[in-house]
Amino acid sequence: MSVIEQYQELINAELEKNSFIGMAPKALYEPCDYILSIGGKRLRPVIVMLGSYVFDGKPEKVVKPALAIEYFHNFSLMHDDIMDEAPLRRGKETVHLKYNVNTGILSGDAMLIQAYRMFEDLPAEQFKAVTQLFSKTAVELCEGQQYDMNFETQNEVSYEEYIQMITLKTGVMMGASLQIGAMIADAKEEDYLNLYEFGKNLGIAFQLKDDYLDVFGQQDFGKIHAGDIIENKKTILYIKALELADEHDRKELKFWYGMKTDNVDKVYAVEKIFRVSKVDFEVMTLIGHYTDIAMSYLNKIEVEEEKKLQLKELAGSLIDRQI
């Protein structure tokens, strides 16, 4: 069994130990348990554990802070699904549809508060440093979400604006997850800051790959193909297509993005523009660019290569995935 698989088992066991089942009022806590039970690879808490592992940290010291990240992630999913009016999450009914919108909001709030409680066992100095980073990251995620919402009505979105948005929505949480694990393992400041930068840039590459897979990936159960096109999301594919396409295709792309419909003709037309403009190659180049930046920071960390190997394998699995 790999280190990552061992950590996934440990996290799932800890989630069971800290289950919301049986907590009152049931109407508040059942949705928390529901969203945690409908799947997910526990990627973010595993990343916390790996941040500790690299510096020989003890798993039992970091597993509850890892749960904090998982609780926070699922809290954000609950609220994101409400804002996006999403019907499905991991192929299952979203919380606000299974229960109701008010429950989705309140149960999400409860998960956020429970996340902070997972840090309570840390020594005082670590508690202060970790919760400061966690709070800073939480605010940055809110900022990223607001930029993403702004883009819905913003006529033009630049490449720089988009990278800033995905850095805040995805990159900083991956970086902070690694840094929290490293701080709890008493890593040197220079090392945990380099680990943060590794995670942040890997997170950017991860989100760019997510955008790519929405159109060019294999069919994923529970996820609508080309959902970003249907929702008129101004992803990196759209931004690069406007930059690379000829005048005729730019006008057609803007025409289709001026209407919100799941019409198959729209999906086909936009995909064709993406392919003709060779956006897929451009985006894969960008993914490689940010992955290389991430690896340059990992190489600066003064630990055994064997320890770094787990992070390199994680990076490979995130960037090479096809769904």
The structural domain count of the chain equals 2
- As a whole number of angstroms, the distance between CA 87 and CA 96 comes to 9
Q: Quick one: 115 and 260 in the same domain? A: no
Q: Does some domain include residue 130?
A: no
- As a whole number of angstroms, the distance between CA 191 and CA 297 comes to 9
Q: Does some domain include residue 126?
A: no
- As a whole number of angstroms, the distance between CA 201 and CA 132 comes to 21
Strand locations in the chain (E): 88-89, 92-93
pLDDT reported for residue 322: 79
Nearest to 154 by CA among 31, 242, 224, 76: 242
Q: Quick one: 145 and 117 in the same domain? A: no
Confidence band of 222 (pLDDT split at 50, 70, 90): low
Q: What share of the chain is helix, strand, coil (3-state, %, to 5)?
A: 75, 0, 25
Domain limits for position 159 = 136-323
In residues, how long is the chain? Answer: 323
Q: Does some domain include residue 127?
A: no
Last residue of a domain, one of 121, 153, 188: 121
pLDDT at 223 over 80: no
Q: Quick one: 88 and 145 in the same domain? A: no
Q: Quick one: 113 and 185 in the same domain? A: no
pLDDT at 234 over 80: yes
The predicted model scores a pTM of 0.95
Q: Quick one: 159 and 262 in the same domain? A: yes
pLDDT at 323 over 80: no
Last residue of a domain, one of 69, 86, 121: 121
Q: Quick one: 321 and 193 in the same domain? A: yes
**pLDDT-wise least confident of 53-62, 167-176, 219-228:** 219-228
pLDDT reported for residue 194: 98
Q: What is the DSSP letter of 218?
A: P
Q: Does some domain include residue 129?
A: no
Confidence band of 239 (pLDDT split at 50, 70, 90): very high
Q: Quick one: 211 and 314 in the same domain? A: yes
Q: Quick one: 175 and 222 in the same domain? A: yes
CATH number of domain containing 262: 1.10.600.10
Q: Return mean pLDDT, the chain.
A: 95
Assess contact for 33 and 43: CB atoms under 8 A: no
Q: Quick one: 290 and 205 in the same domain? A: yes
pLDDT at 274 over 90: yes
Nearest to 57 by CA among 195, 173, 170, 172: 195
- Surface-to-core class of residue 77, CB atoms within 10 Å of its CB (0-12 exposed, 13-18 middle, 19+ buried): buried
Q: Quick one: 237 and 141 in the same domain? A: yes
Average pLDDT for 298-308: 94
Q: Quick one: 148 and 91 in the same domain? A: no
**pLDDT-wise least confident of 106-110, 217-221, 263-267, 311-315:** 217-221
Average pLDDT for 187-211: 98
Average pLDDT for 188-200: 98
Q: Does some domain include residue 179?
A: yes
Last residue of a domain, one of 74, 96, 121: 121
pLDDT (tens digit, 9 = 90+) per residue, 139-159? 999 999 999 999 999 989 999
pLDDT at 224 over 80: no
Q: Does some domain include residue 146?
A: yes
Q: Does some domain include residue 190?
A: yes
Share of the chain above pLDDT 90, in %: 90
Q: Does some domain include residue 241?
A: yes
Average pLDDT for 184-200: 98
Q: Quick one: 206 and 295 in the same domain? A: yes
Nearest to 283 by CA among 311, 243, 316: 243
Confidence band of 220 (pLDDT split at 50, 70, 90): low
